[in-house]
Structure 1
Amino acid sequence: MSLHPPGEEKRSERRRRTRLRAGKILDCRNAFLIECLVHDRSPDGARLRLVAPVALPDSIRLFEDEDRRLAAADVIWRNGQEIGIRFRPGQSDLAMTARARAAMAGPYYAVAERSLTRR
């Protein structure tokens, strides 16, 4: 049972629309999962549109291409190719090697395939 009437705002902070910023969703080990667009965002979370329908884990990392920041987040809701995420407090700029950050910043297909293979 929800404590909020249908359609009522449930966020602690209002989200602001962004100019469709590109990003990448990674798993908790920084392995690429899928590209996305950041539709709107607040300090606490964001609404993302995935480039294709894909199953995601409940805990992800969001790499934003524009500012090259990596943040840990939890998937709060899903609706088709859109997801809502909540950033984890204190994990808004996670460590990532300069080489990995540079590789993620461009189009993902620019990363050498052999570096993506899991063994």
Structure 2
Amino acid sequence: MFKGLCLNRQATMDAVQKRLFPRRRTRLRPAKLASLTNEYICDCTTRDISAGGLRILLNEDIPLPKEFYVFDVNERTIAEVRLSWRDGLEAGVAYLVPPASISFYENTGVRRLAQRFYAVED
């Protein structure tokens, strides 16, 4: 039994060592997702933030593209990300372009994410 506990502790330590950036847990931090072609994907909640990426919780079980935008509603920042993993409604994403103020984006499609209601044009 003691040997099993040591193996579990070692597996936990190995997993921690693989993390490149320390993560910071968030509480009810809303975000919006959009494709790189400015198509709205869904709303979500950011669960963890690190210098390398995010862990998000989707509001609905829909497919995600490999790369997309994440708009942080509270901070009013947008990041370009790559999907790293997915487990049900949870997903981990890595930054391709780190978060920056939405005001730096000239792309009007991306800037629409900052509006209270995001509408897709017909």
Question: Which interval holds the TM-score relative to the shorter structure?
Answer: 0.7 to 0.9
* Residue 98 of structure 1, CA deviation: 7.0
**What count of residue pairs does the alignment treat as equivalent?**
107
Aligned match of 1:86 = 94
State TM-score, norm by structure 2: 0.75
In the aligned structure 2, how far is the partner of 1:85 from the partner of 1:64? 14
Aligned match of 1:95 = 105
Aligned match of 1:28 = 36
In the aligned structure 2, how far is the partner of 1:6 from the partner of 1:54? 32
In the aligned structure 2, how far is the partner of 1:6 from the partner of 1:23? 33
Quickly say closer, same or farther: Cα 1:91–1:46, change in 2 above 3 A.
Answer: closer
In the aligned structure 1, how far is the partner of 2:48 from the partner of 2:118? 27
Structure 1 gaps, min length 5: none
Quickly say closer, same or farther: Cα 1:82–1:96, change in 2 above 3 A.
Answer: farther
Does structure 2 retain, via aligned residues, the 8 Å contact 1:17–1:39?
yes
Structure 2 gaps, min length 5: 1-9
Q: Percent identity?
A: 28
* Residue 106 of structure 1, CA deviation: 4.8
Between Structure 1 and Structure 2, which shows a larger proportion of strand residues?
2
Aligned match of 1:39 = 47
Report the aligned-residue RMSD: 2.3
SS of the equivalent of 2:54 reads strand
Does the alignment pair 1:69 with 2:77?
A: yes
Quickly say closer, same or farther: Cα 1:96–1:32, change in 2 above 3 A.
Answer: farther
SS of the equivalent of 1:62 reads strand
- Rg larger in structure: 2
